[in-house]
Structure 1
Amino acid sequence: MKQLQFYIRSYLAAYFHLKVYLSIAVFLAVCIVVNYSYNFENGIVDSYYGSFWRWPMYFALMGFPFLVTCAMLYFFGLQRSWLYSGEFWLLFVFGFLVISCQRSFTLQDYLTEDLQYVDAKYIRRVLVKLRPIVLTVLPILLFYYLYERHRDDQRSWYGLNFKPFDFRPYAVLILVVFVGIAVASFMGDLTNYYPRYARTGGDHFASHHGLAEWVAVLIYESVYGLSFLGVEFFFRGFLVIGFARVLGGYAVLAMVGPYVFLHFGKPISECVSSAFGGYLIGILAYYSRHIWGGVVLHVALAWFMELFAGLQKIYNN
């Protein structure tokens, strides 16, 4: 807990600027209201599902809040070198091309179209959860090897290294998350969205193949948990650790906006809380140069949501 407090105090002492924080808060609040008022992502962006245009739409959607935050840093005179940095624009274009490709990818539909419905539904949901690993982690690792490796004296691999680090700050957060999710499970928007397994048709898949249902649960939840390695690797690894050489600690603030936008298709309570969670884990990643604590925390959060939402449904039925 002391380490966590030390990181937060150090970050605020070095990077807190009231006008910037208020500007970002107002900007994100307006974007959240617009999205949920007009069903922007689920109703407009998703209407282009399977279309090529969904890729540039996601590129604009995810890159927009990142650039807005950087513009605020420029306007308030906190960080201006990014605008004239070729490295910044290389990282920005590459990174947001990768995440927009991953989010708009629909090949899993074609891979499963000849399967029976009961198999196609379940396998498609499993393949979707594999996208962050295949389409985010692997391309960025290749980019690191070809471009970043010779510039990174710490050989951090965007936080993916296995050098020893203090896990205790994350253990405290996991306990907080456990209590928070238990309380949040009584909120209707979360229990309407979770558990995600309930939408996979895993029970029918298991029955169709003569398997115990726990096998289908284990497969899906394992891949679901693994997918958060891709989330953490991009948002805390690439956007924070990767951009730190260009933006310094302000990379944490720039990351928060895209991370909030990632949650636009989820319950609004989860979307709002993602701003605070992303900011906090971003600070930890910035100082520790690791993403593994964030991965464990994110997986715990997801599985706790699955567990408590599932228990709510069982209890209410």
Structure 2
Amino acid sequence: MKALWHDLRDHLRTDFRVDLYVATALWATLLLSVNFYFDLEDAYIDSFQGKPIWSVLYFLLYATAYYVSVWLWTYFHQRLDIWRNRAFWLRSLVALICYSIYAGFYAHNTWSLELFDGQIYLFAYHCLHNLQSILTIVLPLFLFYKFVEPYLSQSRPGNFYGMAPKRKGLVLYALLLALMIPLITWASFQPDFLQSYPTYRDTNANEFFNVPEWVTALIYELCYGWDFVPTELLFRGFLVIGMSRILGPGAVLPMVVWYCSIHFGRPLGEAISSLFGGYLLGVLALSTRSIWGGLLIHIGIAWGMEIAAFLQNASR
């Protein structure tokens, strides 16, 4: 834990200002209040599901959350020159466009209907929904890293936005994950938990392919776990490790507010906790120059909840 506190202390020494953090907290509170009072995402934005404007509305939401947060940081740190930086605009717009397309992507619905004549629609829909990020996030960011990054920075970062594993911090991340096990175990005994987990639902896919159900369940869980990879790659990799070339430690705070906004369709408590979790993971990604810690925690918790729910159902 000493490494955690050391990294947090060093980051706060260079970035913390009471006025900045209070202003950012108020901005995040305003966004949360508007969303959950008017049910902005679920009742309005998602009413356009499957239409091109769906991604546009997500772009407006995410751009508002991110750019106002960046403005607050540049204002209080007296770095308004950032707004004249072409690389900042290019990086931020690429990130916003990629994630907005990802959030509003619905082609997998058609693919699932056409795959095997729709006979495994439900199974295919959930798997393809989790895998579409390969096209919408991972591939565009890789092309940016390969062809645009050298032009902007005269050189590429040492690895693909933190995708290379680093030993630093892994013990700490493993400890944080271990601390979640008792909480996950307790939650698995709650009725509300078992209404939501496991996210895998019995389908006819195993009968269609004539395989045991554990095979299709494993395929689903692998796809489910993959969906956390592009999230970490974009938010902690591209927006923190990559954007730190321009914003330095200031890359963390705007990322956190945008990261919170992608949880607007989730329960309020989860959206609020994403602020704290996003900040911690952002600081550690900046320190370790790796996103593997965030992947370990995110995927570990997700699969831990799935396993706990499977065990609870098996014991009944």
Q: Which residue of 2 aligns with 1:138?
A: 139
Task: Work out the CA distance in 2 between the residues paired with 1:89 and 1:136.
Answer: 18
Task: Work out the CA distance in 1 between the residues paired with 2:196 and 2:100.
Answer: 23
Contact 1:195 1:305 in 2 (8 A): yes
Q: Which residue of 2 aligns with 1:235?
A: 235
Task: Work out the CA distance in 1 between the residues paired with 2:17 and 2:192.
Answer: 34
Task: Work out the CA distance in 2 between the residues paired with 1:305 and 1:124.
Answer: 21
Moved more, 178-187 or 294-303: 178-187
Residue 154 of structure 1 and its aligned partner are, at CA, apart by 4.4
Q: Secondary structure at the match of 1:159?
A: coil
Residue 306 of structure 1 and its aligned partner are, at CA, apart by 2.2
Contact 1:189 1:267 in 2 (8 A): no
Q: How many residues align?
A: 313
Q: Which residue of 2 aligns with 1:157?
A: 160
Residue 18 of structure 1 and its aligned partner are, at CA, apart by 1.7
Task: Work out the CA distance in 2 between the residues paired with 1:23 and 1:117.
Answer: 50
Q: Which residue of 2 aligns with 1:223?
A: 223
Residue 268 of structure 1 and its aligned partner are, at CA, apart by 2.2
Alignment deviations for residues 143-196 of structure 1 (CA, whole Å, 9 cap, x no partner): 011111462464232112345544112112111232333344566765544332
Alignment deviations for residues 294-313 of structure 1 (CA, whole Å, 9 cap, x no partner): 11111012112323345566
Task: Work out the CA distance in 2 between the residues paired with 1:191 and 1:261.
Answer: 26
Q: Which amino acid in 2 is paired with 1:259? A: Y
Task: Work out the CA distance in 1 between the residues paired with 2:272 and 2:242.
Answer: 25
Moved more, 183-192 or 283-292: 183-192
Over 3 Å counting, the alpha-carbon distance change for 1:80 and 1:252 in structure 2 is same
Contact 2:174 2:296 in 1 (8 A): no
Task: Work out the CA distance in 2 between the residues paired with 1:65 and 1:252.
Answer: 13
Residue 217 of structure 1 and its aligned partner are, at CA, apart by 1.2
Task: Work out the CA distance in 2 between the residues paired with 1:195 and 1:310.
Answer: 6
Task: Work out the CA distance in 2 between the residues paired with 1:113 and 1:294.
Answer: 34
Over 3 Å counting, the alpha-carbon distance change for 1:252 and 1:183 in structure 2 is farther
Task: Work out the CA distance in 1 between the residues paired with 2:258 and 2:190.
Answer: 25
Q: Secondary structure at the match of 2:253?
A: helix
Length-normalised TM-score, structure 1: 0.90
Moved more, 210-219 or 229-238: 210-219
Q: Which residue of 2 aligns with 1:168?
A: 171
Length-normalised TM-score, structure 2: 0.90
Task: Work out the CA distance in 1 between the residues paired with 2:111 and 2:97.
Answer: 23
For structure 1, the residue ranges without an aligned partner over 5 or more in a row are none
Residue 203 of structure 1 and its aligned partner are, at CA, apart by 3.6
Q: Which residue of 2 aligns with 1:282?
A: 282
Question: Percent of counterpart pairs with the same letter?
Answer: 33
- Show the 5 A alignment for 1:54-203: 54-114=54-114, 115=116, 118-149=119-150, 151=153, 152=155, 154-162=157-165, 164-185=167-188, 191-198=194-201, 202-203=202-203
Moved more, 162-171 or 124-133: 162-171
RMSD between superposed Cα atoms in Å: 2.2
For structure 2, the residue ranges without an aligned partner over 5 or more in a row are none
Residue 138 of structure 1 and its aligned partner are, at CA, apart by 1.2
Contact 1:7 1:287 in 2 (8 A): yes
Contact 1:193 1:267 in 2 (8 A): no
Over 3 Å counting, the alpha-carbon distance change for 1:286 and 1:143 in structure 2 is same
Over 3 Å counting, the alpha-carbon distance change for 1:181 and 1:149 in structure 2 is farther
